[in-house]
Amino acid sequence: MLNLILFGPPGAGKGTQADFLIEKFKLNHISTGNLLRRQIASETELGLEAKSYMDKGFLVPDSIVIGMIRTKLLKNKEANGYIFDGFPRTVAQAKALDELLDSLGIPITGMLCLIVEKKELIDRLLYRGITSGRPDDQDVSVIENRIKVYQEKTEPLRDYYMAQNKYHCVEGTGSVEDIAQRLIETISTI
Ligand code: B4P
């Protein structure tokens, strides 16, 4: 089973590359961003709470996100493997994921990190703000807050997965196809 985590700052191309890898390796896509946006669109209680954090560029509380992942994993036990996109984003989430996967007997194969510089991230997200209407992509100060939260809360996960020998990085600029090729080559070496 191939179980991958896509890692990187907001706008690094996690969702974009997940689409390629799902097609190539026939994996299940678990994107916490997409799951949360679905809850917001359905105007559920969870969605309304999540929106108040997301619109300001803050992380949604761990308890909400971990509960969503647990439900999703237990529903898809027969999958070929998973791509976790945008999860885990905190050390508490990484530990919860390890516990959950241990109980299901499915280890993480590796974490794939996309490296992109800050100006490029901001340009990409502002452009997506125009084309998609996503509220968290429309204001530079919200985007900068997301990048700051990433540096403070999410980057420490690099050490967590490095200690398990599971951390791999590729350059995240260039054409979407070239980056996908870099990821596929990295996966073949794991
Ligand atoms: P996410 O939905 O995960 O959004 P994201 O970090 O902005 O990345 P995404 O994957 O969507 O974008 P991508 O880089 O592919 O999270 C949104 C919010 O949800 C978070 O801020 C947080 O509030 C909440 N949340 C989600 N998960 C959470 C968790 N686990 N815990 C707590 N809170 C959580 O692409 C960005 C743009 O770049 C796209 O427009 C794309 O077309 C473009 N792009 C991609 N590759 C490119 C390339 N090579 N060249 C040029 N443009 C490119």
Stretch 76-97: mean pLDDT: 91
The answer to whether the beta carbons of residues 171 and 112 sit under 8 Å apart is no
Is position 128 annotated as part of the catalytic site? yes
User: What are the backbone angles phi and psi of residue 12, rounded to the nearest 5°?
Assistant: -75, -15
pLDDT for the residue numbered 36: 97
**Residue position matching structure tokens 């794991």:** 190
Share of the chain above pLDDT 90, in %: 91
Angle at Cα 20 formed by Cα 120 and Cα 158, nearest 5°? 55
pTM of the model: 0.94
DSSP 143: H
Q: 172 falls in which pLDDT band (50, 70, 90)?
A: very high
Stretch 162-174: mean pLDDT: 97
Ligand 1 within 6 A of CB of 32: yes
β-strand partners of 169: 113
In ligand 1, the atom with minimum distance to the C-alpha of 86 is 3
pLDDT tens for residues 132-148?
999 999 999 999 999 99
Q: 57 falls in which pLDDT band (50, 70, 90)?
A: very high
pLDDT for the residue numbered 77: 72
pLDDT tens for residues 104-131?
888 999 999 999 999 999 999 999 999 9
Mean pLDDT of the chain: 95
Q: Is the pLDDT score of 79 beyond 90?
A: no
Stretch 172-181: mean pLDDT: 97
pLDDT for the residue numbered 98: 94
Stretch 156-165: mean pLDDT: 97
15 C-alpha vs ligand 1 centroid, how far in Å? 6
From the list 37, 95, 128, 182, the catalytic residue is 128
Q: 13 falls in which pLDDT band (50, 70, 90)?
A: very high
Token pair belonging to 15: 């969702």
- Strand extents, DSSP E, the chain: 2-7, 28-31, 81-85, 110-115, 167-171
Pocket test for ligand 1, best of 60, 65, 72, 117 (most atoms within 8 A of CB): 60
